[in-house]
Amino acid sequence: MSYSKPKFQEKYGNYINGAFVDPIDGEYFDNYSPVDNSLIAKFPRSKEADVKKAIEAANAAKEEWGDTSVTERSAILNKIADILEENLEHFAQIETSDNGKAIRETLNADLPLAVDHFRYFASVIRAEEGSASELNKNTLSLIIQEPLGVVAQIIPWNFPLLMMAWKVAPALAAGNCIVLKPAEQTPASATIFAEKVGHLLPKGVLNVIHGFGPEAGKPLASSPDVDKVAFTGETTTGQLIMQYASKNLHPVTMELGGKSPNVFFNSVMDHDDEFLDKCIEGAVLFALNQGEVCTCPSRLLIQEDIYEAFIEKVIARTEAIKMGDPFNPDTMMGAQASNDQHEKILSYINIGKEEGAEILTGGEAAKLDGDLGNGFYVKPTILKGHNKMRVFQEEIFGPVVSVCTFKDEAEAIEIANDTLYGLGAGVWTRDAHQLYQIPRAIKAGRVWVNCYHDYPAHAPFGGYKKSGFGRENHLMMLNHYRQSKNMLISYDKNKLGFF
Amino acid sequence: MTYKRVDITKQAAMLLKELKAEHGEVIFHQSGGCCDGSSPMLLPKEDFYLDDNDIYLGEVGQVSFYMSHDQFEYWKHTHLTVDVTPGRGASFSLEIPKGKRFIIRSRMLTKEEHEHFNSL
């Protein structure tokens, strides 16, 4: 099977109230593929008036949608999953085209996970129950979950379709209407998603608007007519969105990235077996998705007595990463999502060098042949240094890992927690005590133990510290999209006796 | 000798001037975290709530540059230059509709700069 950039329309509209509509002032922006910097299509450069239309449509639809039975919502979510699955290769090619990531990742990770996400939320709402408590023999407390109404969702460009699924599936399952704003770097897959599955939902339940943050994102996040804002992105915009929400007293959930430690204890090298092989791969997972993952294991912590032997294997495995045409199924790492990301990554490698970090491999842009020469590629890079360096403290969002050593468990924990963030972490060991104690001591919402970069639905995902709050990927996300209604019922015929 | 923690390139200063003319008073706030993080955000001055948790690093093109206090702890040994590159960021930064993105270039503070800023 060969893959290539799919055919796109010349331009797309916003998806509002069940139909694609032109932006009110007729302005569009060009969306380019980072694979070769070629044009994908034009997307609406929406403004406040477009955003208002989408919010109005969602508000008009919310009562009816909120009243649908869970049976009905579950069936719709399953149908959405089926359509995504039937079009899996098409969507995978859209993602590779729009984001630049290798097709083997979109085919085997992004899409199957997105499909399963809709199925997971389709099933959990059928099994869920509210609660009834008899507070005394005449008083019953019923807790019933009700949808919030209209939720605004602002999603990132690193996994355009999967991050959409993480946000859209639980919000729909909980009975909300949605105004979704995809990132302006990757507007394609959410648009084609609306095109393919929009007919399954009543008009106005799902709305997709495109545009730039200051022009379309801001009026969406600050609107008094949405009931919640869910955001994945960086900290300054996260703060802004929380400020806007504070004016409206609206709830928010935030996923703001991290600088995740990946900790390897010396026992991993006790045997030269398949587990050691898994560990080496685990250290090299910093290159998955070109490092553009909120949980990128971008700090590699290796116990000092195995450092030399271990890093030698990690370097060899990193240098075996095959770069090339992202549409070639053999390509292991594709393009960075945009020119500015590419520039940022290179500027970080540069400050790393200035700070005294040693480049163990990579450390520069990758020049590919032909049309790919216009794309944005960076060689997978390993920097050796110490945890106070900026390359250990800031999210580079590229295929760059910063490695340091630690002496013992205490130092491993100290370095792992010496960060502003707490989204992900990895712990690798053959020691049964460390398997439990070290993950418990690391301040992060997700600690992978003897694995990394696994994102199954049913395992909650979210941050500690400046990485944000809210737990996606799990039924607990439903309650981030709902209100709890308490009905306190008296079966006592007699009055209180006060008046 | 006056020392500066933060500077701006000519191209970035020209873009900044243009944006100031369009949007009035603005500030830079250095972002952290995922996606478009680790980049400076240009925001309307009235929009962004600043307090003692933010450090004022100086002015570039008559625009104040801020960063979170805790983030600054890891940055204070470096000198920053605001530059600009073609690109499509996804954040609320004001230059994004122009297809341009402010970006930070960094170098280590010189010994003299380091003594000036960090020896107190």
Contact B31/A at CB under 8 A: yes
Helix/strand number for chain B, H first, E second: 3, 7
> What distance in Å separates residue B99's CA from the closest CA in chain A?
9
Does residue B120 surpass a pLDDT of 60?
no
Is the ipTM here above 0.90? yes
Instruction: Assess contact for A240 and B46: CB atoms under 8 A.
Output: no
Sort strands B63-68 and B54-60 into parallel, antiparallel or unpaired: antiparallel
b/e code A335-370 from CB counts within 10 Å (16+ = b): bbbbbbbbbbbbbbbebbebbebeebbbbebbebee
Contact A48/B at CB under 8 A: no
Distance of alpha carbon A119 from alpha carbon A68, whole angstroms: 18
Mean pLDDT over the full length of chain B: 94
Any idea where the domains of chain A sit in the sequence? 14-256+467-485, 261-449
Tokens of A83: 């359509």
Does residue A352 surpass a pLDDT of 90?
yes
The arithmetic mean of pLDDT across residues A39-66, rounded, is 98
> What distance in Å separates residue B31's CA from the closest CA in chain A?
5
Instruction: Assess contact for A400 and A381: CB atoms under 8 A.
Output: yes
Catalytic residue, chosen from A95, A105, A184, A255, is A255
User: What residue of A is the nearest CA neighbor of B84?
Assistant: A340
Distance of alpha carbon A84 from alpha carbon A77, whole angstroms: 11
Domain A261-449 fold: Aldehyde Dehydrogenase; Chain A, domain 2 (3.40.309)
Distance of alpha carbon A205 from alpha carbon A18, whole angstroms: 8
Contact B64/A at CB under 8 A: no
Residue pLDDT, tens place only, A10-47: 999 999 999 999 999 999 999 999 999 999 999 999 99
Instruction: Assess contact for A90 and A6: CB atoms under 8 A.
Output: yes
Residue pLDDT, tens place only, A158-194: 999 999 999 999 999 999 999 999 999 999 999 999 9
Does residue A407 surpass a pLDDT of 70?
yes
Distance of alpha carbon A62 from alpha carbon A55, whole angstroms: 10
User: What residue of A is the nearest CA neighbor of B46?
Assistant: A240
Q: What is the pLDDT of residue B37?
A: 83
Q: What own/partner pairs with CB < 8 Å and gap ≥ 24 does B83-87 have?
A: B83/B8, B83/B9, B83/B11, B83/B12, B84/B9, B84/B11, B84/B12, B84/B15, B85/A339, B85/A340, B85/A343, B86/A339, B86/A340, B87/A338, B87/A339, B87/A340, B87/A341, B87/A343
Distance of alpha carbon A11 from alpha carbon A27, whole angstroms: 11
Distance of alpha carbon A113 from alpha carbon A130, whole angstroms: 28
The arithmetic mean of pLDDT across residues A212-239, rounded, is 96
Domains and CATH numbers, chain B: 6-118 (2.60.300)
Does residue A404 surpass a pLDDT of 70?
yes
Instruction: Assess contact for B88 and A338: CB atoms under 8 A.
Output: yes
- For chain B, give the longest Cα–Cα distance: 41
**φ and ψ at residue A376, rounded to 5 degrees:** -120, 95
> What distance in Å separates residue A257's CA from the closest CA in chain B?
4
Instruction: Assess contact for A225 and A150: CB atoms under 8 A.
Output: yes
Residue pLDDT, tens place only, B34-84: 888 889 999 999 999 999 999 999 999 999 999 999 999 999 999 999 999
Distance of alpha carbon A96 from alpha carbon A3, whole angstroms: 10
| Class of A14-256+467-485 in CATH | alpha beta
- Picking from B9, B23, B36 by the largest number of A CB atoms within 10 A of its own CB, the best residue to mutate is B36
DSSP string for residues in A287-350: GGGGG-STT---EEEEEGGGHHHHHHHHHHHHHTPPBS-TTSTT--B---S-HHHHHHHHHHHH
Q: Reply yes or no on whether A343 is catalytic.
A: no
Instruction: Assess contact for A479 and A251: CB atoms under 8 A.
Output: no
- For chain A, give the longest Cα–Cα distance: 87
Instruction: Assess contact for A440 and A434: CB atoms under 8 A.
Output: no
Instruction: Note whether B48 contacts A338, CB cutoff 8 Å.
Output: no
Question: Of A379, A373, A377, A331, whose CA–CA distance to A36 is shortest?
Answer: A373
Instruction: Assess contact for A460 and A296: CB atoms under 8 A.
Output: no
Rounded to 10°, the helix A409-417/A432-441 angle is 30
> What distance in Å separates residue B34's CA from the closest CA in chain A?
4
Does residue A233 surpass a pLDDT of 80?
yes
> What distance in Å separates residue A295's CA from the closest CA in chain B?
9
A136 CB-near residues (< 8 Å, 6+ apart):
none
Does residue A1 surpass a pLDDT of 90?
no
B59 CB-near residues (< 8 Å, 6+ apart):
B65
Contact B75/A at CB under 8 A: yes
Tokens of A154: 């602002």
Task: For residue B55, list its beta bridge partners.
Answer: B67
Residue numbers in B near A292 (CB within 8 A): 35
Distance of alpha carbon A411 from alpha carbon A498, whole angstroms: 64
Contact B30/A at CB under 8 A: yes
User: What residue of A is the nearest CA neighbor of B72?
Assistant: A390
Q: What is the pLDDT of residue A482?
A: 97
pTM of the model: 0.96
Mean pLDDT over the full length of chain A: 97
Q: Which of B32, B89, B97 sits opposite A395 (nearest CB)?
A: B32
Question: Of A163, A108, A100, whose CA–CA distance to A398 is shortest?
Answer: A100
Distance of alpha carbon A233 from alpha carbon A237, whole angstroms: 7
- Picking from A39, A163, A229, A236 by the largest number of B CB atoms within 10 A of its own CB, the best residue to mutate is A236
CA angle B74, B5, B106 (to 5 degrees): 60
Residue pLDDT, tens place only, A267-304: 999 999 999 999 999 999 999 999 999 999 999 999 99
Q: Which of B48, B93, B106 sits opposite A213 (nearest CB)?
A: B93
**φ and ψ at residue A290, rounded to 5 degrees:** 55, 25
Give the type of residue at A18. Answer: G
E strand residue ranges, A201-308: 206-208, 228-232, 252-255, 261-264, 299-303
User: What radius of gyration do chain A's Cα atoms show?
Assistant: 24
Instruction: Assess contact for A209 and A54: CB atoms under 8 A.
Output: yes
Task: For residue A384, list its beta bridge partners.
Answer: A358, A403
**φ and ψ at residue A421, rounded to 5 degrees:** -110, 170
Sort strands A299-303 and B78-86 into parallel, antiparallel or unpaired: unpaired
